[in-house]
Structures are given as C-alpha cells and as structure tokens.
Amino acid sequence: MLNYLDIELPDDARQLQQRVRRFVEDEALHLIPACFEARRFPTELIPRFAELGLLGGTLPPDGTGGAGLTPMAYGLACQELERGDSGLRSFLSIQSALCMFPIYTYGSESQQRRYLPEMARGALIGCFGLTEPEHGSDPIAMELTATPDGNGWVLNGTKTWIGNGSVADVAVVWGRTPEGIRGFLVERDRPGFATRDIEDRLSLRAATVSELKFTDCRVPADALLPGAVGLGAALRCLTEARFGIIFGVVGAAMACYETALAYTKRRVQFGKPIAAFQLTQQKLVDMLTGITQGQLLAVQLGRLKAADRLRHQQVSLGKRANVAMALDVARTARSMLGANGIRLHYGVMRHAVNLETVYTYEGTHEVHTLAVGRDITGEAAFG
C-alpha cells in the first residue's frame, strides 16, 4: 500500500480500507472501462456498497441505517473507491453525505424511518439538487420556487448537473420559499418531476448525471425537511461531501502514480527503461511528494473531524489543494505513458478527465480559494 511516510492509521480504518480495496480490485475495476464508454454507473455494485457498510456509514449506529464509521475509516474508503474511479466515490458521496446526512440531520423522525434504512441497504438511491442552469457557484440566487399550496407545496424550476439524477428514487431538492431557501424530499414518481441525462460529457462517465425538471410538481407537506432552513443547511452537506473528496482524490493520484511507475520501469527507450532517466525520476518523485503531502493533509483533517474541530474553511483548503495535486499527478502520469497514456486501458487519462469534474464540483477551485481568502483576510472577494 502506498504510504511512503508510514503514516499511522487506526486499525478499524485500515481494515475497512483493505476491504474496500479488495472490493474495487476484484469486483469493480474490470467493469469501469465499459461503464466509462457506455456512460453508465455500475448499479450492479450498489448491494456491495451496502454490504461493506459504506452507505450512510458515518451516521450513528442507532437503527436508522448508520454504521458509526469514523471520519478516517470513511475517508480511506473514499480513497480506495476513487483509486478505482471518481464515479464510485461520487456515488458514495451523493448517497451518504448529500442525501442520508441531510435526512438524518434535518429530517423528521418519520422521514428518517422511511428513507434511511432503505438507503443504507442500497434499496433506495438519492440525489442532491442544488445547482441550476443559471446558478452554479452562486446558489444563493437559485430560481426554483416552492410555493405553499393547501396542504403541501408546488415546485417549479430546473436543477442541473445532478449526480445519480435519473437513477434516484428520492431527490433532496433546494428551493426558494416565501420564507427563504428550504430543502425538500421529492420522490421520483411525483407528477411534474422529470429527468434527462447529460449525455455529451467527457468526464465522470462511469456515473449518471442529469437535469431535474419540476413543472407544477406538487409534493405533500411532509416532503419538507423541517430542519433544512437556509442555504447554510445545503452548504453543510457539501462540507461533508468535500471531506470525502479530500481523501478520494489521493486515491486517484495513487492509481496514476502506480501505473506510471510500473510503466516507466518496463518501457525501454534509448536502450534503457525510461524510469532510468533523470527527468522521469523527477516526475515520479514530484508525484510521490504531492501524494504524501495530500495524505498528511487528509489524515490531519480526519483527526480534526473526529474531534469535532474541523472548520469548513479547512475543508475548502483541503479540497482545493488535494484536487489540484491529483489533477497534476494524473496529467503528468498521462504524459509519462506517451501515446498509451491516452488509452482507456491504462486508466490515467480516465482519472485525469474525471478529476476535471472534481476540480469543478462541490465548489470550484476558485470558489474555495475565495473561501479560504475570506477566512484569512476577513475580506469577501466573491462579488
């Protein structure tokens, strides 16, 4: 296992990491290239996500579906999933951090009972609708409306770039009400709710990404998440998901580094393995250094989270730094494989293009720069 500084990890976290690694290597990796080409998430793996205790895994083990995983264990599971493909980790982020977490945190008891155990079993899939066609980085300006109507609400508007969108049974949807932004649970079969997949994307292809359209979509009063008040409630879910990304992208970088190392030791040019050239070694050492720094950053943020001392600005710093590192490692690995680097077979270009999505979603690199910038200067530079 790539852990150059022998960073100490708790036994439970290491054991889960090993179990998820075996799952990815034995059961997932062989499916990924075809899924990437066909632009589909391997839904046949969902029961295995559940058996591994990953779905909603960090929620308390209180009978609603959680497994009480520590942040470190969850993070390392994300690392191993993304070592396979960003689509696998994204699926977990959406189901756990963006759907089960808000239902657990903001939902009524009856909402928790209705959805969480089934979601932990993988029998119900969720999605999280915040982004709109005209509002990505500035969700505060969202246009989707939720209008009170008799004993319920009527939703009108569009969400886009929604992971799991068309395969989800229930959507966590954020909308504007007369009292401000609120979160709703909208089931797939509601009249007036339609989805359409975004088909021409060149990144995160082993996943489902869709547009959600609400046209006079009537939902009952108990679709409202009672505790989800204001945009801050949605942003708190994103902080949970970003925590997983900080670990996840280290996994993608590890996969690229390991592929580049093995390839350059094998590939002979000018009578020598290309790993014997100084320029190649410099690239490998830079990659390993970035990965090692990324691991240290992730582990320290995991410790802060376990101690309930993790601030969202620290998560922004970690997401920003580790995604940039992983993208750099993936692009470098791509170059080191020469022409083979662009082939799906070797996986490095797949990771590189996936990481272009991760650079943008869950808050873009630039927006996280502004979040940390505001934290250290006291000056908001968003507007």
Can residue 357 be called a binding residue for ligand FAD (CB under 6 A)?
A: yes
- Distance in angstroms (rounded) separating the CA atoms of residues 112 and 114: 5
Name which of 84 and 129 has its Cβ closer to ligand FAD. 129
The residue among 76 and 130 lying less far from ligand FAD, judged by its C-beta, is 130
Cα–Cα distance between 55 and 48 in angstroms, integer? 10
Q: Are 221 and 182 in contact (CB under 8 A)?
A: no
d(CA 304, CA 72): 10
Residue 362 designated active-site: yes
Strand partners, 187: 170
DSSP code string of 50-95:
HHTT-TTTTS-SSSSS-----HHHHHHHHHHHHHH-HHHHHHHIII
304 touching ligand FAD, by CB under 6 A: no
CA separation for the pair 287, 122 (Å, rounded): 36
Which region, judged by CB under 6 A, interacts with ligand FAD, from 273-281, 282-290, 332-340, 360-368?
Answer: 360-368
Stretch that binds ligand FAD, among 29-37, 53-61, 161-169, 181-189 (CB under 6 A): 161-169
Distances (CA, A) of 108 to 13, 103, 231, 241, 367: 31, 8, 19, 22, 32
Q: How far is CA 125 from the centre of its chain?
A: 15
Angle between helices 278-306 and 71-84 (to 10 degrees): 150
Interface with ligand FAD by CB under 6 A: which range of 47-55, 124-132, 213-221, 274-282?
A: 124-132
Nearer CB in complex with ligand FAD: 207/254: 207
- x-or-dash pattern for ligand FAD, window 75-94, by CB under 6 A? -------------------x
In the chain, DSSP assigns E strands to: 126-129, 145-149, 152-163, 170-177, 180-187, 193-197, 209-220, 224-229, 268-269, 272-273
Q: Does 367 help bind ligand FAD (rule: CB under 6 A)?
A: yes
* One of 35, 103, 119, 162 touching ligand FAD (CB under 6 A): 162
One residue of 42, 129, 183, 318 binding ligand FAD per CB under 6 A: 129
- Provide the minimum distance between the beta carbon of 131 and ligand FAD in the complex, in angstroms, as a whole number: 3
Closer CB to ligand FAD, residue 52 or residue 173?
173
Q: Does 373 bind ligand FAD (CB under 6 A)?
A: no
Number of residues that bind ligand FAD (CB under 6 A): 20
* Nearest-approach distance from CB 143 to ligand FAD, in angstroms: 13
Across 230-275, where does the E strand assignment appear? 268-269, 272-273
Q: Which stretch binds ligand FAD (CB under 6 A): 48-56, 247-255, 329-337, 361-369?
A: 361-369
Indicate whether 166 belongs to the interface with ligand FAD (CB under 6 A): no
Nearest approach, Cβ of 298 to ligand FAD (angstroms)? Answer: 21
Question: Residue 96 has which token pair?
Answer: 């756990």
Q: Is residue 4 at the binding interface for ligand FAD, with CB under 6 A as the rule?
A: no
364 is an interface residue for ligand FAD by CB under 6 A: yes
- Of residues 131 through 160, those in contact with ligand FAD by CB under 6 A are 131, 136-137
Q: Is the Cβ–Cβ distance between 323 and 249 less than 8 Å?
A: yes
Burial class (CB in 10 A: 0-12, 13-18, 19+), 198: middle
Q: Which of 37, 143, 362, 366 is catalytic?
A: 362
Least separation, in Å, of the C-beta of 334 and ligand FAD? 20
As a whole number of angstroms, the distance between CA 92 and CA 100 comes to 10
Give the count of alpha carbons within 13 A of 332, CB side only: 27
Binding site for ligand FAD (CB under 6 A): 94, 128-131, 136-137, 161-163, 204, 209, 357, 360-361, 364, 366-367, 370, 382
As annotated, the active-site residues are 362
